[in-house]
């Protein structure tokens, strides 16, 4: 009965979404206040029914209702409760319910937090969100209903959740990732509403910015969690593989980053409008592309869902409808009027443009690399397939990020409209010299070896960090003292600097880990040991353990630091009862400057085991950087100017003529 | 070019990509009809991983049904499928599991097998990928079923897991037996 209730809730949500797609939009066109204001109750209704549907599916999981085929194939009576709950989104069908629940939550949030948005704008935004919700609900109900029953032959027990997903990282990774993916639909809806109404001005950019930041912050955390999960759960110590599924989450992030920067220019200076709208459309389109690639099986990947061409076809139709029509709308309605705001070649506008170009080129490179196997096959035929590996991505991507880091330092320092070159030289000359000098000295002193990659990464990281410090000092120079100055700076300024600091931290983390990791796969008998630097790992032997739904062989590895006992690690090799799959559980000592990573290999017959021991310096910094970025994004949202009711400053009035011109042109 | 016309570029680009995805949808990425299916094994003579002075020839693979798996340590999916290959090779003792270590670092490859166990009776070293070219391999992992007369009967691209083994490999192998 409960699963039917869930199914019925999905259908009700679909009905309400249909009303929302039509009524508020019609109200906005015909200027009918009542119709427009219906968007608020409708969006709360959709949210409530999606929540109910999600709750019903969770109930089916928690009560082991194996008559529901989705539950039967993704859960098991022995599964610990927390994994029963995360099993709700462990497979394709349930993850769609979570996806739509989040879409509904964003929609509802927009209606709650946009009190100072003009009603016609809100109505249009909500109607666009309604259209997207309809698309995904139809997709779920028609091709992948999680409430389908296995009537008559209900299995006695379920197939169990994929052991790889029985993990804390996998409980939290998909919700964050989906929040990010889906969150870009808000920026998209704002862009479409602006195109429809012809109101593509600074106010529009200001409304869009916090929503874009929020989605971007969620996506940053989602990607970082996914990478962290791969690092400790897949058991071979890597943290990014340029797998198609990783790439499709990374592309919206790259474009979203470009969008955040381009929105800043559009809000402050009223330029790059068409470009910003295009980025907003692109960020959401890439999210949809991600959903398509992961769920249709057009590309092979480590973590693809079950392959189903029919689902792919429906998703492709959804993309055609949503993206195709929005790009046509863009082509017909985007402003082509040349902007009358002027800026020089060394203005902040230009540096943000450089940022956008680098990020979009990076996205194009990742997209090309991801889709190249398909392109190659389309051109050369089925027998000739190619795979694009990390070498391609690293060769293209790493230099681009280096350029981005360089531009970042100058960019934050530049001023709007015009920045004199002598000012930049005077301000940044010493910073440049300091980062080059320290970049060479620090790696030489600490490692006493020359490693070009490490030196370059150190220079770039320091360049970003030192320009941030220098900028803080310049900004506070006229204040009574440094701390009073710090207090006077806005939250959005701090948000920016935290996110940039995150970038520096990631650059350092990635480079130090890839250059200085020590990886040993050694055969150890109980009592034998292996040393890395001042750490000594003593293998104490294996004990048998029994978990709730698996049995495990647990290794005990005592770690000595400088000859003194430091800690004990317990890597495991688990065999899950239901699927009989073997899963390696790495044991990791997480540290600020280094991780100690141990995993169990195979037994070698005489009681000795192959033990994988890694020393990974600075690997924690990769995730720390991502969290700093996300923190920066959230901090910027809390800036009080997004909450103020006062109209957009008149500094922008010079550009406001365009919106009117466009509206006139459109009508 | 007219500015308004330029604005159609994203739409054109999108439709090209859509066409490509539609094309991609019609096919199963794991099952690739190879030009080599139902043809004899290509001629080769390459060293064995753990004993590089021993050469393995194409004739050595006759007399038994062989499962030839192209793998490498640099390939994440190979790590994923490896435990299952070990398991299935222990269960299917009459199948001749042959690994081809594809464009890899030999020491890392040896460590990999030592650590994770080996499903392979022999591992052919294909350092420069020449055997991969003869087999028409696109990447790793790829797995071929070769019958006892040295004829290639099936090509699989991507990871092998329990379901794929039962659904696609077992029927082919049972037919060959």
N-terminal to C-terminal alpha carbon distance within chain B? 66
B24, B80, B159 member nearest A298 (Cβ) = B24
Decide if B18 touches A, using CB distance below 8 A: yes
The answer to whether residue A666 scores a pLDDT higher than 50 is no
**Residue A649's pLDDT is what?**
45
Q: pLDDT of B117-126, one tens digit each?
A: 889 999 999 8
∠A527-A529-A535 over CA atoms, to 5°? Answer: 135
Q: Do B14 and A582 touch (CB under 8 A)?
A: no
CA distance A641 to A490: 9
Strand-pairing partners, residue A616, are A595
Decide if B1 touches A, using CB distance below 8 A: no
B17, B116, B139 member nearest A387 (Cβ) = B139
Calculate mean pLDDT across residues B125-135: 80
Q: Of residues B30 and B62, which shows the higher confidence score?
A: B62
Domain map of chain B by residue range? 31-176
A238, A324, A387 member nearest B138 (Cβ) = A387
CA distance B154 to B168: 9
Looking at every residue in chain A, the average pLDDT score rounds to 86
Question: Does residue B119 sit in helix, strand or coil?
Answer: coil
Q: pLDDT of A606-657, one tens digit each?
A: 778 888 888 999 999 999 999 999 999 999 999 887 776 554 443 343 343 3
Percent over 90 (pLDDT), chain B: 12
Torsion of CA A342, A347, A353, A359, to 10 degrees: -170
Decide if B167 touches A, using CB distance below 8 A: no
Q: Strands, E, within A487-645: which ranges?
A: 518-524, 529-532, 535-546, 550-561, 564-569, 572-576, 582-585, 587-589, 594-603, 609-617
The answer to whether residue A350 scores a pLDDT higher than 50 is yes
**Residue A629's pLDDT is what?**
96
What the block records as the tokens of B72 is 């490498």
DSSP string, B41-86: PPP-EEEETTEEEEEEEGGGGTTS-EEEEEE-TT-HHHHHHHHHHH
Calculate mean pLDDT across residues A514-523: 83
Report which of A273, A365, A305, A275 is spatially closest to residue A74, judged by C-alpha positions: A305
| Listed range (A423-427, A525-529, B127-131) with the worst mean pLDDT | B127-131
Q: Of residues A297 and A509, which shows the higher confidence score?
A: A509
Residue tagged 């008998």 (tokens): A525
Q: pLDDT of A316-326, one tens digit each?
A: 899 999 999 99
**Residue A659's pLDDT is what?**
38
ipTM confidence = 0.81
Contact A137, A17 (CB under 8 A): yes
Taking a contact as any Cβ pair under 8 Å apart, which residues of chain B between 115 and 134 contact chain A?
Answer: 115-117
**Residue B43's pLDDT is what?**
82
Q: Return the CATH number of the domain spanning residue range B31-176.
A: 3.40.30.10
A278: which chain B residues are within 8 Å (Cβ-Cβ)? Answer: 10
Q: Does residue A544 come out as left (phi exceeding 0), alpha (psi in the -120 to 50 range) or beta?
A: beta
**Residue B27's pLDDT is what?**
62
**Residue A474's pLDDT is what?**
86
Taking a contact as any Cβ pair under 8 Å apart, which residues of chain B between 56 and 75 contact chain A?
Answer: 74-75
Q: Do B20 and A375 touch (CB under 8 A)?
A: yes
- In angstroms, how far apart are the furthest CA atoms of chain A? 84
Q: Do A307 and B30 touch (CB under 8 A)?
A: yes
Residue in chain A nearest B111 by alpha carbon:
A521
| Listed range (A382-386, A407-411, A652-656) with the worst mean pLDDT | A652-656
The answer to whether residue A665 scores a pLDDT higher than 80 is no
**Residue A657's pLDDT is what?**
38
The answer to whether residue A522 scores a pLDDT higher than 50 is yes
B7, B18, B112 member nearest A331 (Cβ) = B7
Q: Do A302 and B80 touch (CB under 8 A)?
A: yes
What burial letters (b/e) apply to B109-145, b meaning 16+ CB within 10 Å? Answer: bbbbbbbbbbbbebbbbbeebebbeebbbbbbbbbbb
Beta strands B142-146 and B152-157 are antiparallel
Q: Mapped to the 3 state alphabet, what secondary structure does A115-163 carry?
A: CCCCHHHHHHHHHHHHHHHHHHHHHHHHHCCCCCECCCCCCCCCCCCCH
Which among A226, A231, A387 is the top mutation candidate for probing chain B, defined by the most B β-carbons within 10 Å of its own β-carbon?
A387
The answer to whether residue B68 scores a pLDDT higher than 80 is yes
Q: Do A386 and B23 touch (CB under 8 A)?
A: no
- Å from B7 to nearest chain A CA? 5
Q: What is the pTM of this model?
A: 0.83
Contact A416, A349 (CB under 8 A): yes
Q: How many inter-chain contacts (A to B, CB under 8 Å) are there?
A: 131
**Residue A658's pLDDT is what?**
39
Decide if B24 touches A, using CB distance below 8 A: yes
B26: which chain A residues are within 8 Å (Cβ-Cβ)? Answer: 309
Q: Do B32 and A330 touch (CB under 8 A)?
A: no
- Å from B58 to nearest chain A CA? 22
Q: Of residues A280 and A646, which shows the higher confidence score?
A: A280
B33: which chain A residues are within 8 Å (Cβ-Cβ)? Answer: 382-383
B114: which chain A residues are within 8 Å (Cβ-Cβ)? Answer: 521, 523, 601-602, 604, 610
Calculate mean pLDDT across residues A241-264: 91
Q: Please, which pLDDT band fits residue A447 given cuts at 50, 70 and 90?
A: confident
Decide if B34 touches A, using CB distance below 8 A: yes
A278, A300, A579 member nearest B29 (Cβ) = A300
DSSP string, A208-251: HHHHHHHHHHHHHHHHHHHHHHHHHHSSS-------HHHHHHHH
**Residue A308's pLDDT is what?**
66
Q: Please, which pLDDT band fits residue A519 given cuts at 50, 70 and 90?
A: confident
Decide if B10 touches A, using CB distance below 8 A: yes
B29, B83, B111 member nearest A299 (Cβ) = B29
Q: Do B138 and A236 touch (CB under 8 A)?
A: no
B75: which chain A residues are within 8 Å (Cβ-Cβ)? Answer: 389
């Amino acid at each position: 009965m409960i699963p039917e209730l869930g199914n019925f809730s999905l259908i009700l949500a679909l009905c309400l979404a249909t009303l929302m797609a039509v009524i508020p939009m019609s109200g906005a066109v015909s200027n009918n206040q009542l119709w427009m204001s219906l968007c608020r109750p409708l969006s709360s209704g959709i949210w409530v029914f999606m929540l109910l549907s999600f709750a019903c599916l969770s109930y089916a999981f928690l009560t082991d209702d194996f008559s529901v085929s989705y539950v039967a194939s993704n859960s098991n009576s022995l599964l610990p409760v927390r994994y029963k709950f995360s099993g709700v989104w462990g497979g394709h069908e349930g993850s769609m319910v979570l996806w739509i629940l989040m879409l509904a939550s964003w929609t509802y949030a927009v209606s709650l937090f946009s009190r100072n948005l003009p009603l016609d704008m809100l109505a249009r935004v909500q109607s666009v969100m309604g259209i997207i919700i309809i698309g995904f609900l139809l997709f779920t109900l028609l091709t992948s209903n999680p409430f389908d029953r296995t009537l008559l032959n209900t299995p006695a027990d379920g197939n169990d959740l994929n052991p790889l997903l029985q993990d804390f990282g996998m409980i939290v990774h998909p919700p964050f990732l989906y929040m990010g993916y889906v969150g870009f639909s808000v920026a998209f809806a704002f862009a479409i509403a602006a195109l429809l109404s012809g109101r593509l001005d600074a106010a529009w950019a200001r409304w869009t910015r916090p929503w874009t930041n929020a989605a971007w912050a969620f996506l940053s955390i989602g990607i970082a969690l996914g990478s962290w999960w791969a690092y400790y759960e897949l058991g071979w110590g890597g943290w990014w593989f340029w797998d198609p599924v990783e790439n499709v989450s990374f592309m919206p992030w790259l474009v979203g980053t470009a969008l955040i920067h381009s929105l800043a220019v559009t809000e402050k200076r009223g330029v790059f409008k068409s470009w910003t709208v295009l980025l907003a459309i692109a960020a959401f389109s890439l999210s949809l592309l991600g959903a398509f690639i992961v769920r249709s099986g057009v590309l092979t990947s480590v973590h693809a869902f079950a392959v189903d061409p029919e689902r792919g076809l429906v998703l492709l139709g959804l993309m055609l409808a949503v993206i195709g029509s929005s790009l046509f709308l863009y082509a017909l309605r985007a402003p082509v009027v040349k902007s009358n705001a002027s800026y020089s070649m060394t203005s902040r506008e230009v540096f943000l443009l450089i940022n956008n170009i680098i990020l979009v080129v990076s996205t194009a490179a990742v997209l090309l690399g991801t889709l190249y196997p398909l392109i190659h096959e389309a051109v050369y035929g089925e027998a000739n397939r190619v795979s694009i590996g990390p070498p391609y991505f690293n060769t293209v991507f790493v230099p681009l990020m280096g350029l981005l880091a360089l531009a970042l330092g100058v960019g934050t320092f530049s001023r709007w409209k015009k920045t004199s070159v002598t000012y930049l030289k005077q301000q940044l000359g010493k910073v440049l010299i300091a980062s080059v000098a320290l970049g060479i000295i620090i790696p030489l002193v600490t490692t006493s070896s020359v490693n070009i990659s490490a030196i370059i990464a150190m220079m770039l990281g320091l360049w970003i960090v030192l320009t941030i410090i220098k900028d803080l000092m310049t900004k506070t120079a006229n204040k009574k003292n440094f701390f009073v100055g710090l207090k006077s700076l806005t939250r959005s300024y701090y948000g920016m600097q935290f996110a940039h600091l995150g970038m520096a931290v990631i650059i350092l983390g990635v480079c130090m880990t890839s250059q200085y990791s020590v990886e040993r796969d050694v055969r150890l008998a109980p009592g034998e040991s292996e040393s890395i630097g001042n750490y000594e790992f003593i293998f104490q032997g294996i004990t048998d353990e029994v978990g709730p739904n698996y049995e495990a062989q647990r290794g005990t590895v005592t770690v000595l630091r400088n000859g003194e006992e430091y800690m004990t690690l317990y890597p495991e090799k688990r065999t899950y009862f239901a699927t009989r799959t073997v899963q390696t559980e790495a044991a990791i000592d997480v540290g600020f400057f280094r991780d100690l990573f141990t995993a169990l290999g195979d037994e070698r017959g005489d009681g000795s085991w192959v033990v994988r021991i890694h020393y990974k310096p600075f690997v924690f910094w990769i995730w720390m950087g991502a969290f700093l970025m996300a923190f920066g994004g959230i901090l910027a949202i809390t800036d009080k100017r997004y909450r103020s009711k006062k109209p957009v400053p008149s500094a922008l009035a010079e550009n406001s003529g365009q919106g009117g011109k466009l509206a006139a042109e459109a009508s | 070019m007219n500015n308004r016309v330029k604005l159609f570029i994203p739409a054109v680009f999108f439709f090209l990509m859509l066409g490509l995805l539609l094309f991609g949808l019609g096919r199963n990425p794991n099952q690739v009809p190879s030009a080599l299916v139902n043809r004899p094994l290509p001629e080769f003579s390459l060293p064995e991983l753990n004993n590089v002075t021993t050469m393995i020839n194409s004739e050595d693979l006759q007399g038994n049904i062989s499962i030839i798996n192209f793998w490498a340590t640099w390939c994440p999916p190979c790590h994923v499928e490896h435990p299952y290959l070990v398991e299935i090779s222990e269960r299917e003792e009459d199948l001749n599991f042959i690994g081809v270590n594809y464009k890899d670092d030999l020491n890392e490859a040896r460590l990999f097998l030592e650590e994770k166990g080996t499903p392979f009776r022999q591992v052919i070293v294909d350092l420069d990928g020449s055997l991969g070219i003869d087999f028409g391999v696109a990447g790793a992992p790829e797995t071929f079923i070769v019958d006892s007369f040295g004829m290639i009967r099936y090509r699989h691209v991507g990871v092998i897991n329990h379901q794929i083994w039962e659904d696609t490999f077992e029927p082919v192998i049972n037919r060959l037996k």
